[in-house]
Amino acid sequence: MVGQVLGHYHIDAKVGEGQFAVLYKARDIRLDRTVAVKVLKENSLQPDTTWGRLLREARMASILNHPNICILYDIGEDQDINYIVLEFVEGKTLRAILDSGPLPVQHAFHFGIQIAEATAYTHGAGILHRDLKCANIMVTPRGRIKLVDFGLSKLVEEERRKEGKASDSSAQEIGWLVGTLPYLAPELLHGEKATTQSGVWSLGVVLFEMLTGELPFSGQSPFELGMDIMTGTMKLLPMTIPAGLRAITQRCLARDKEDRYYSAVEVLNHLQSEYTTFQIRAVLANHPSSQNQWSRAGWLRSLLSRIGWVFLGN
C-alpha cells in the first residue's frame, strides 16, 4: 500500500494497525497537506460489517467539530479499497505515554479537563463514543488532546429508535459487548444499554490510569476482570493526589449509578473547580505569608495568569 495513490491521497507510511483497519500517513495531493488514511484490511472476515464500522466512524466524526476531536476530511473508494481520511495527529497515544508511569498531577488535570470537554461535547451532540480509552486518546507535542476512533460510537436518538427491536448486527463484531473490557461500566456487563453515565465511567478509568499508571480493577482473565468490575473493590488512589481529584475519580467510578456523575459536563465543572483550587494552593505555597512585601496586585495578577487558561481555553 505504501507508495500507492488512493483517490488523490499518496500513501507515505504505515503508522498503525487494528483488528479491522490499517492507518497510514498520507499526502493530500490536491491541497498539499498531511492526512491520515484509514483503510479496511483486505483479510477482514466480515468486510461488510467492518466497512459499516468505518462508515459509522465517518458519520459520527462529520457531525463533530471540536478542537479535542480528530477531524474527518473525506471518505472514498478506489481500486475496490474503502477508506476514510482524517486529520493526521502528531504525537503519542495516552496509552504509550502512561507506559512510562503515572502523570504528574498538573498534567493529569490538564489532560483530564480536555478529555472531559471533548466527552461532554460528544454527549451534547447526542453521541456516545462507547470506546473511550487511553489508546484512543492522542496527545500532541504541545499537550493538546485529540479523541480518535469513533467506529463504535452511537447516536443516542438512533439507539432509542432501536429499543424494542432486534439489536444492531454491526455490534456483533466484538460480541454482545461493545467496547474494551477494562473501560466498560458494570451495568454494561449486566446487559444494560450504554448511556452518558457509562461514558462517565470510562472517563473515570482514564483519570485513574493517568494518576496511578494502573487500571482501577484487574483480573488474570477476562472473566476475572469482569467480575472485579462488577463486584470487586477498586484499587486505592495514592494519598499524595489532591483529595478533590481523588473524589472526582472515585465518583466517576461509583458502581451504583445513583452515586455516579450523571454527565461529563458535571465531571468537567468539578475538574475545572478543583484545578483552580490546586493552582491557588501552588501559588500560596510558592509565596508564603512571610513574603508580604510582594504587592497584592502583583499576587493577583500572577494568580490569574496561572489559572485563567482553564476558563479561556488552552
Q: Measuring CA to CA, which residue among 136, 156, 155 is closest to residue 146?
A: 136
Please tell me the predicted confidence (pLDDT) of residue 155: 53
For the chain, domains (ranges, CATH) are 5-87 (3.30.200.20), 92-273 (1.10.510.10)
User: CB-hemisphere CA count at 13 Å for 73?
Assistant: 20
DSSP per position, 179-195: S-GGG--HHHHTTPPP-
DSSP per position, 124-179: HTTEE-S---GGGEEE-TT--EEE---TT-EEHHHHHHHTTSPPPGGGGBTBSS-S
pTM: predicted TM-score of the whole model, two decimal places: 0.82
At 86 the three-state DSSP class reads strand
Backbone φ and ψ of 45, nearest 5°: -75, -20
148/165: higher pLDDT: 148
Q: Measuring CA to CA, which residue among 266, 186, 258 is closest to residue 228?
A: 186
| % of residues, the chain, pLDDT over 70 | 77
- Using CB atoms within 10 Å of the CB of residue 104, give its burial: 0 to 12 exposed, 13 to 18 middle, 19+ buried: exposed
Please tell me the predicted confidence (pLDDT) of residue 165: 40
* Reported confidence tier of residue 177, pLDDT bands at 50, 70, 90: low
Residue 167 has pLDDT above 50, yes or no: no
Do 6 and 76 form a contact (C-beta atoms < 8 A)? Answer: yes
Is 131 a catalytic site residue? yes
Task: Give alpha helix (H) positions in the chain.
Answer: 47-63, 94-98, 105-124, 156-162, 186-189, 196-212, 222-231, 243-252, 264-286, 296-307, 309-312
Residue 160 has pLDDT above 60, yes or no: no
C-alpha cell at position 107:
498534567
* Reported confidence tier of residue 64, pLDDT bands at 50, 70, 90: confident
How far, CA to CA in Å, does 248 sit from each of 93, 251, 253?
A: 23, 5, 9
- Mean pLDDT is lowest, of 5-14, 98-107, 145-154, for 145-154
User: CB-hemisphere CA count at 13 Å for 294?
Assistant: 14
Cα distance between residue 102 and residue 215, in whole Å: 11
Angle between helices 264-286 and 196-212 (to 10 degrees): 30
Please tell me the predicted confidence (pLDDT) of residue 175: 37
Cα distance between residue 230 and residue 224, in whole Å: 10
C-alpha cell at position 40:
479496511
Which residue in the list 28, 32, 74, 131 is annotated as catalytic? 131
* Reported confidence tier of residue 235, pLDDT bands at 50, 70, 90: very high
pLDDT (tens digit per residue) in 92-112: 999 999 999 999 999 999 999
